[in-house]
Structure 1
């Protein structure tokens, strides 16, 4: 009986130790730069959205700050870069335009059915 148990344990140990081959590749410098740039863009947008005046403006439009952060986290790197570029191109004091732009992005994502933030927007399906 002990030999059968030992044989089964050895057999299971043998099958459990089989591993799949692993591939390793070089990471190019442009890939690293793009990754770091997207992380920087997200951080820049998040820090702008954490400002008190921006949060007050968003609250006056009916958007909760937690919802904004969730929405920013779900945006693609390209969308974040575009939004940051438009914000940077605005004149000083143009934060209201940025807030309106973010509001429009939220309404569009509600309209396509990606989110459900505003009750007055009906998704197109």
Structure 2
């Protein structure tokens, strides 16, 4: 019985020593963040904000609700968009004539939402 207790104690101490040695020797990894990287991140964030502000318009929100997209899911979808998807939406927003109907843009957004759903990035349309 005494031998088992000593064996458990020595095993526990060995594990603690190994864990302490591993945690002490783990180097910290860091790299320099360059200005182009920061500019790219800021640009992506600005594109997301532009799309969010467009989606916050009453006519666009009503059209999205008409197509069955929940208002709470819109922001999650925008967060899951890739850089190229954001750029495409941004270019579509920029080419729409002022004061015109946003139906074409909304259909493009819905298409991207459906593609994200099919790829498994989100689950807004459970039937897909």
Q: TM-score, normalised by structure 2?
A: 0.70
User: How far apart, in 2, do the equivalents of 1:69 and 1:34 lie?
Assistant: 21
How does 1:1-125 map onto structure 2 within 5 Å?
Answer: 12=17, 15=21, 18-92=24-98, 93-110=100-117, 112-114=118-120, 115-117=123-125, 119=127, 122=128
Q: For the structure 1 residues 61 and 32, does the alpha-carbon distance in structure 2 shift closer, same or farther, using more than 3 Å as the test?
A: same
Greater helix proportion: 2
Q: After TM superposition, what 4+ stretches of structure 1 lie above 4 angstroms from structure 2?
A: 11-14
Q: TM-score, normalised by structure 1?
A: 0.72
Cα shift readout 1:70-94 (whole Å, capped 9, x = no counterpart): 1111111221122111211121124
Q: Is the 8 A contact 1:55 1:65 kept in 2?
A: yes
Unaligned runs of 5+ in 1: 1-7
Q: Which has the higher contact order (CA 8 A, sep 6+)?
A: 2
Alpha-carbon offset, residue 59 of structure 1: 1.0
Cα RMSD for the two superposed structures: 2.8
Unaligned runs of 5+ in 2: 1-12
Q: Is the 8 A contact 1:107 1:118 kept in 2?
A: no
Q: For the structure 1 residues 118 and 53, does the alpha-carbon distance in structure 2 shift closer, same or farther, using more than 3 Å as the test?
A: farther
